[in-house]
Amino acid sequence: MSFVNSVQAGERVHHFLWEEWGPAHTYMMYAPRKHNEAWPNFVYGTKYVYPRTRGTEMVIEVMDFNPLPMIRHLAGLDNPSVEDFLKCGWVNRPSWTDADDVFVDRLEGTLPFRVQTLMPPPIEGQVEFRHVMISEDSLITLGGQSHSAYLRILSF
Q: Has this prediction a pTM greater than 0.85?
A: no
Residue-range domain boundaries for the chain: 12-155
The pLDDT value given to residue 39: 65
Residues 6+ apart with CB under 8 A from 111: 24, 25, 26, 27, 65, 95
Q: Is-contact 46 137, C-beta < 8 A?
A: no
> Residue-wise over 119-149: b if at least 16 C-beta within 10 A, else e?
ebeeeeeeebbbbbbbeeeebbbbbeeeeee
Instruction: Please write the tens of the pLDDT for every residue from 65-108.
Output: 998 888 888 888 888 887 877 777 788 888 888 877 777 888 88
